[in-house]
A and B are shown apart, each in its own frame.
Chain A
């Protein structure tokens, strides 16, 4: 005889689960009892939202399926934001929820919430398991669905009588899951690839537009090879950061609303856009008709629904981007005649570098640059949402895939800190830093408890502007400086950390930054920096809402005279992303 709970936990082990982030309660008790002497580690969070984000961080850092768990009703409902976050960014996750016994389903029973109903639009699939004999199969299917094709969260709702119930014999599982309604296309269509190759060979001004799909399919090696083979510049989305080293000569950095001017110009002037694992999000495209207006578009994506969704595509290729790139690489010849296009882009880079004022004030960009120099591109950087996120995207030098975790699609404040916890358990040897805003950090600040209790060595750098900075920036620029409810009173974050037994430093002067960062990194165990930055620093350049992406405002433009001097100094050999403290 085996209980549903035992079958569940054994199933999780079979799927390779080593860590669950969760929070117990009444109807999930049978599962907790089973976990008590299971080799699977359970991390008790302080709020279920954090369990979901931690599972998400675990998944993004490792590529494996993250697992979170909660009890019925309020517990399950608290997972919702975390599930939606994972759904929007295509993160493989399995969420296990307790449910009232099947006999009480639909009865408004104590702590009953229709969680499969609530999460229907934010899960890739979900199960309400009604019989103990189905538990094993559902576990197998849930993990299969979560990690294959376009990954996403799968919710498994487990009524108490199903986990407590016993069965004589667990029906054997198929070796491979077969679902007749779910067969992702992995191999790109040969004729479509032929057409793509034809366009690529003809193109004069190509740009690779790479995104989260490159990270998911572990295709950065192939993507960079393609770029080098074609001498084709690469721009990445927020989600694609790390797929090409930040200082790679062909890397234009991020495109879109807070991307670089030169990436946006390059896309606008391109005659061929090679879109790889991206979804033409409105933060990227700006005004759609003016996005890549002169370009033919090749779009490789595993999800057919993404192709042509926002922008008409000339050559759609449905498939796993890694496998498609491998086929292309076998056939594409080396190009060495891209001089005109690259020279043009280099001129934009020189003229419109990312920049910030280095006037001795404590600017967030400087903090991030220093951290980047200190870690040399190693480690895992997680962000919250807002200005802190955009500054990190612009100024941190990412060198490897899965070294950058951020909530892009949903833009969930409070994501970073718990996701950092998850990332630590996925890759315990890495330094994990959450670059936070003071607003976002307070959305899951209670996880200091989880970090302290388990001595989880995550580092938090709060870029503290005492504002909901990103919203304040919009109010400054588009609402006539009317700072309606965006100011936050000062908080003694170091004091709060200390109350949890976590060490920290408040940083108020520019000169203190390097040593404070070093102390943080060199401390074993968790650490918090409360960095009091220039309060009204903005994220620039930016594309105002509804504008074309080449109509950016607020960027630094290098005067002609300086440009001439620089050009004389550099010659025309280097081709590097322009980053500069002006």
Chain B
């Protein structure tokens, strides 16, 4: 069992997310994360799906995904040279005069931005590979994380290579 990263091109149509996520649920596959948005190709969206399973299971997932009419291309890019990034928003306790300066210090080490400052809290925005976000969250926990939202990672091949529809 290991995490596989799938880059999936889909038709940008109502219902496509249900079809994809339903397939995972129905066939008992575990999604670790799923991120979706439009792409440079007209009418197509890209999904990055992280799925946990052994090689045979993941091969079966990919084949089943490929059978969906609205799925145009599925690539397992786990073993490729990739960049992967995730965005998180973290609302953390940071009262002036108490922990606020320490929180800001940590934020700057992680190159997280402060995107909102409240009376007792700040909201940090951090982008990076998922491991970096995990590390930041862990450090901030001592101050009290009030809310954490992660987008799920998006992944792209390095260099000139791209995930494209076949022909």
Give the interface of A toward B (CB within 8 A).
Answer: 116-117, 120-121, 124-125, 128, 145, 179-183, 303-305, 308-309
- Indicate if the CB atoms of A182 and B69 lie closer than 8 Å: yes
Apart from A120-B18, A303-B67, A308-B59, what 17 extra A-B contacts exist at CB < 8 Å?
Answer: A116-B15, A120-B19, A120-B22, A121-B26, A125-B69, A128-B14, A180-B72, A181-B68, A181-B70, A181-B71, A182-B69, A304-B63, A305-B60, A305-B63, A305-B64, A305-B66, A305-B67
> Can you show 6 pairs from A to B with CB atoms below 8 A apart?
A180-B165, A181-B10, A181-B11, A181-B70, A305-B67, A309-B60
- CA of A179 to CA of B67, assembled, Å: 12
User: In this complex, what residue of B is CB-closest to A184?
Assistant: B67
User: Could you say which residues of chain A place their CB within 8 Å of the CB of B109?
Assistant: none
- Indicate if the CB atoms of A181 and B15 lie closer than 8 Å: no
User: Could you say which residues of chain B place their CB within 8 Å of the CB of A182?
Assistant: 69
User: Could you say which residues of chain B place their CB within 8 Å of the CB of A124?
Assistant: 69
User: Could you say which residues of chain A place their CB within 8 Å of the CB of B10?
Assistant: 181
Chain B nearest Cβ from A538, distance in angstroms: 35
- CA of A180 to CA of B60, assembled, Å: 21
Chain B nearest Cβ from A179, distance in angstroms: 6
Interface presence of B56 (CB below 8 A): yes
- Indicate if the CB atoms of A179 and B69 lie closer than 8 Å: yes
- Indicate if the CB atoms of B22 and A121 lie closer than 8 Å: yes
Given the known inter-chain contacts A305-B60, A309-B60, please indicate yes or no for A117 contacting B18, CB distance below 8 A. yes
- Indicate if the CB atoms of B69 and A128 lie closer than 8 Å: no
- Indicate if the CB atoms of A304 and B66 lie closer than 8 Å: yes
Chain B nearest Cβ from A180, distance in angstroms: 5
- CA of A181 to CA of B68, assembled, Å: 7
- Indicate if the CB atoms of A181 and B72 lie closer than 8 Å: yes
Which chain B residues numbered 149 to 167 have a C-beta less than 8 Å away from chain A? 165-166
- CA of A145 to CA of B70, assembled, Å: 12
User: Could you say which residues of chain B place their CB within 8 Å of the CB of A183?
Assistant: 166
Chain B nearest Cβ from A84, distance in angstroms: 13
User: Could you say which residues of chain B place their CB within 8 Å of the CB of A117?
Assistant: 18
- Indicate if the CB atoms of A145 and B67 lie closer than 8 Å: no
User: Could you say which residues of chain B place their CB within 8 Å of the CB of A128?
Assistant: 14-15
Chain B nearest Cβ from A80, distance in angstroms: 15
- CA of A183 to CA of B66, assembled, Å: 10
User: In this complex, what residue of A is CB-closest to B9?
Assistant: A181
User: In this complex, what residue of B is CB-closest to A312?
Assistant: B56
- Indicate if the CB atoms of A308 and B56 lie closer than 8 Å: yes
User: In this complex, what residue of A is CB-closest to B11?
Assistant: A181
User: Could you say which residues of chain A place their CB within 8 Å of the CB of B59?
Assistant: 308
Chain A nearest Cβ from B73, distance in angstroms: 8
User: In this complex, what residue of A is CB-closest to B72?
Assistant: A181
User: Could you say which residues of chain B place their CB within 8 Å of the CB of A121?
Assistant: 22, 26
User: In this complex, what residue of A is CB-closest to B61?
Assistant: A305
User: In this complex, what residue of B is CB-closest to A303?
Assistant: B67
User: Could you say which residues of chain A place their CB within 8 Å of the CB of B60?
Assistant: 305, 309
Chain A nearest Cβ from B1, distance in angstroms: 18
- CA of A479 to CA of B11, assembled, Å: 51
- Indicate if the CB atoms of A145 and B22 lie closer than 8 Å: no
User: Could you say which residues of chain A place their CB within 8 Å of the CB of B166?
Assistant: 183
User: Could you say which residues of chain A place their CB within 8 Å of the CB of B71?
Assistant: 181
User: Could you say which residues of chain B place their CB within 8 Å of the CB of A305?
Assistant: 60, 63-64, 66-67
- CA of A181 to CA of B167, assembled, Å: 11
- In order of increasing CB-CB distance, the 4 nearest A-B pairs are A305-B63, A181-B72, A125-B69, A182-B69
Which chain B residues numbered 116 to 141 have a C-beta less than 8 Å away from chain A? none
User: In this complex, what residue of B is CB-closest to A125?
Assistant: B69
User: In this complex, what residue of A is CB-closest to B25?
Assistant: A121
- B18, B19, B63, B71 — which one has the most chain A CB atoms within 10 A of its CB? B63
- CA of A182 to CA of B26, assembled, Å: 21
- CA of A309 to CA of B64, assembled, Å: 11
Chain B nearest Cβ from A249, distance in angstroms: 38
- Indicate if the CB atoms of B69 and A181 lie closer than 8 Å: yes
User: Could you say which residues of chain B place their CB within 8 Å of the CB of A116?
Assistant: 15
- CA of A174 to CA of B72, assembled, Å: 20
- A121, A128, A180 — which one has the most chain B CB atoms within 10 A of its CB? A180
Task: Tell which of B11, B18, B19, B69 touches A145, judged by Cβ atoms closer than 8 Å.
Answer: B69
User: In this complex, what residue of A is CB-closest to B64?
Assistant: A305
User: Could you say which residues of chain A place their CB within 8 Å of the CB of B14?
Assistant: 128
Chain A nearest Cβ from B76, distance in angstroms: 14
Interface string of B38-68 (1 = CB under 8 A from A): 0000000000000000001001100110111
User: Could you say which residues of chain B place their CB within 8 Å of the CB of A304?
Assistant: 63, 66
Which chain B residues numbered 1 to 48 have a C-beta less than 8 Å away from chain A? 10-11, 14-15, 18-19, 22, 26
Which chain B residues numbered 79 to 127 have a C-beta less than 8 Å away from chain A? none
Chain A nearest Cβ from B144, distance in angstroms: 39
User: In this complex, what residue of B is CB-closest to A150?
Assistant: B67
Chain B nearest Cβ from A429, distance in angstroms: 36
User: In this complex, what residue of B is CB-closest to A307?
Assistant: B63
- CA of A235 to CA of B26, assembled, Å: 32
- CA of A128 to CA of B14, assembled, Å: 9
User: Could you say which residues of chain B place their CB within 8 Å of the CB of A179?
Assistant: 69
User: In this complex, what residue of B is CB-closest to A304?
Assistant: B63
User: Could you say which residues of chain B place their CB within 8 Å of the CB of A180?
Assistant: 11, 72, 165
- CA of A128 to CA of B18, assembled, Å: 14
- CA of A365 to CA of B136, assembled, Å: 73
- CA of A145 to CA of B68, assembled, Å: 11
User: Could you say which residues of chain A place their CB within 8 Å of the CB of B63?
Assistant: 304-305
User: In this complex, what residue of A is CB-closest to B18?
Assistant: A120
- CA of A461 to CA of B70, assembled, Å: 44
Chain A nearest Cβ from B58, distance in angstroms: 12
User: In this complex, what residue of A is CB-closest to B27?
Assistant: A121
Chain B nearest Cβ from A422, distance in angstroms: 26
- B18, B60, B67 — which one has the most chain A CB atoms within 10 A of its CB? B67
